[in-house]
Amino acid sequence: MRLVDYLDKGAQLGAGRPCLTMGDADLSYGEVQRISHRVGRALQRSGIAPGEKVAVLSSNDATAFACVFGISRAAGVWCPINPRNEAAENRYVLDAFDCTCLIFHSHYAAMVEQMRAGLPKVRVWVCLDQPQSFAPSLAQWLEGVHEAPLHVRPVDDLAMIAGTGGTTGQPKGVMLTGTNLESMSALTLMGYPFEGRPCYLALAPLTHAAGVLCFPIMTLGGRIVVMPKPDLTEFLALIARHRVTHTFLPPTLIYMLLAHEQLATTKRDSLQCFWYGAAPIAAARLEEALTKIGPVMAQLFGQTEAPMMISMMAPREHFRADGSVARERLSSAGRPGPLVQVATMDGDGKLLPTGETGEIVIRGSLVMAGYYKNPAATAEAGAHGWHHTGDIGRLDADGFLYIVDRAKDMIITGGFNVYSVEVEQALMQHPDVQDGAVIGLPDDKWGERVVAVLQPHAGRSLQAEEVQAFVKARIGSVKAPKQIEVWPDLPRSKVGKVMKKDIRAELLRRLKEAAE
């Protein structure tokens, strides 16, 4: 299955049925097909050959997502670009992934203008909604392009390249194939409830998990309701208005939803499956969700390199046979998917028996083809014949997976991956910072919050608000520390390395004392 095959499958079930809905506007399956044929032909006319990388930079937008199928129709490779990243990071991604075409929304025209000089490989620029001095609008670009069916033979199975952070803070390109996404879609359809024609509400970014979840929905001819920006009041209204059956939110937004005054009065009996994932969820809040939202909560655990469905917990698995809440499972990540082999491994590459803690490793057709133009990182991730997730966990006797820690100091805050080294590098650019360390601490709202412990230069002082603004300007608000501590010195090893373990233990001790 190519990406466009999911669209065509849905069209076979009803070309006149709604495919993408945003606001009061509907695009039917047939209309999205016609857009995809025209976008594919326009790419050809612009000299974009099969196998070339075409990037889309936009917040959630129905037309932008429709263009993804045009990229696939022309046998191009889709590169979703995160609009929340800073310009420097997105410029690096576009160049490192060899993108030759960028389709962007005018909201990000200033960012694109800032990046342009550093993107010599990009030959084609298209603005979705209005012309720019250097780019035609989508309507202008499509002038004179007919919508006759387009059939282009792909050069290989590569469907998309998704950017992911690395321990050095430098993004890597995860090569996801049609086979990877087909496995993800199959796991979704076999692991969760789907009755009738689904309606999927996409509030979370389509550049991330919310986007690839659209593909299995399309195979059933379902409607995808696209929310341009996060708004939980509108989210609840749309559930009732469109009789939404499926949706996905990271835990941070679920916590906010549980406190929303309109949740109790919203008609939500249409819900079959409310996915949560992308960050740890507090077991107590999950139990609250099972009551306030309904017995429809459904966990998924994956990563960019193995999208979405490494392990799964369907709504029914949140309960015991007698109907009571299975509290012992709520802190798990569910069971490994039926098409995925999951194990734990020690540092020497030895697989561990059930119940023992080690790095979570996986095998199967869900696993990426590798990192784009990065054979060393690809080999490291696939050492000993298994893909290494970087997560530390254990499998219990019932097959449930428990994630107990994460390797490589990755912090998951609000559903986004933040790498401590990248934040530290930004902090070290501050003229008054001598040294520092960044860790993640548990947070009721964000899952984890980014915490920086800083040592100032002698005779200088640091103000938390000013340092936060300094970091936000360089790497964005998601990665900026939510908490900043200033210590006169940092714990270090005998060779002078900052001991993050000791810092974390001290801050956790303070949290415990404050709670008592």
User: What is the Cα 74 distance to its own chain's centre?
Assistant: 25
- Of 122, 156, 190, the residue that ends a domain is 156
The answer to whether 454 and 433 have CB atoms below 8 angstroms apart is: yes
pLDDT of 417 strictly over 80 = no
**Lowest-confidence range among 95-99, 279-283, 318-322, 361-365?**
279-283
Spell out the alpha helix ranges (H) of 144-282: 178-191, 209-212, 214-219, 232-242, 251-258
Q: How confident is the model at residue 429 (pLDDT cuts 50, 70, 90)?
A: confident
Helix (H) or strand (E) holding 100: strand 99-104
CA distance 93 to 82: 10
pLDDT of 406 strictly over 70 = no
CATH code at position 98: 3.40.50.980
pLDDT of 492 strictly over 80 = no
Residue 224 lies in a domain: no
Residue with the bigger pLDDT between 371 and 281: it is 371
3-state secondary structure 42-95: HHHHCCCCCCCEEEEECCCCHHHHHHHHHHHHCCCEEEEECCCCCHHHHHHHHH
CA distance 7 to 217: 10
**pLDDT number for residue 294:** 97
pLDDT of 348 strictly over 80 = yes
- All residues at 6 or more sequence positions from 180 whose CB lies less than 8 Å from its CB, including other chains: 159, 306, 307, 365, 366, 367, 368, 369
- The domain total for the chain is 2
Residue with the bigger pLDDT between 79 and 477: it is 79
**pLDDT number for residue 168:** 45
Tell me the mean pLDDT in the region 221-231: 95
The answer to whether 423 and 479 have CB atoms below 8 angstroms apart is: yes
Percent of the chain clearing pLDDT 90 (strictly above): 74
- Of 108, 130, 156, the residue that ends a domain is 156
Residue 305 lies in a domain: no
Residue with the bigger pLDDT between 238 and 460: it is 238
Report, in angstroms and rounded to the nearest whole number, the Rg of the chain calculated over CA atoms. 23
Tell me the mean pLDDT in the region 192-212: 93
Considering only CA atoms, which of 166, 227, 225 is closest in space to residue 21?
225
Considering only CA atoms, which of 335, 327, 320 is closest in space to residue 402?
335
Order across the sheet with 387-395: list the strands: 341-345, 358-363, 387-395, 401-406
Tell me the mean pLDDT in the region 230-255: 93
Residue 284 lies in a domain: no
Q: Which domain holds residue 476?
A: 415-515
Per-residue burial over 183-200, b = 16 or more CB atoms within 10 Å of its CB, e = otherwise: bbbbbbeebbebeebbbb
The answer to whether 214 and 366 have CB atoms below 8 angstroms apart is: no
Residue 53 lies in a domain: yes
CA distance 403 to 475: 28
pLDDT of 416 strictly over 90 = no
pLDDT of 207 strictly over 90 = no
The answer to whether 78 and 68 have CB atoms below 8 angstroms apart is: yes
pLDDT digits (tens, 9 = 90+) for 16-52: 999 999 999 999 999 999 999 999 999 999 999 999 9
Query: Which value, to the nearest 10 degrees, does the dihedral of the CA atoms of residues 490, 496, 502, 506 take?
Result: -10
CA distance 22 to 128: 15
Residue 442 lies in a domain: yes
Residue 331 lies in a domain: no
pLDDT digits (tens, 9 = 90+) for 446-470: 888 999 999 898 889 999 999 999 9
pLDDT of 13 strictly over 60 = yes
Model pTM? 0.81
Residue 137 lies in a domain: yes
Residue 275 tokens read as 């996915």
CATH code at position 484: 3.30.300.30
pLDDT of 494 strictly over 90 = no
Residue with the bigger pLDDT between 389 and 516: it is 389
Percent of the chain clearing pLDDT 70 (strictly above): 96
Residue 338 lies in a domain: no
Average pLDDT, the chain: 92
Residue 312 tokens read as 């799964």
pLDDT of 297 strictly over 80 = yes
- Of 106, 136, 156, the residue that ends a domain is 156
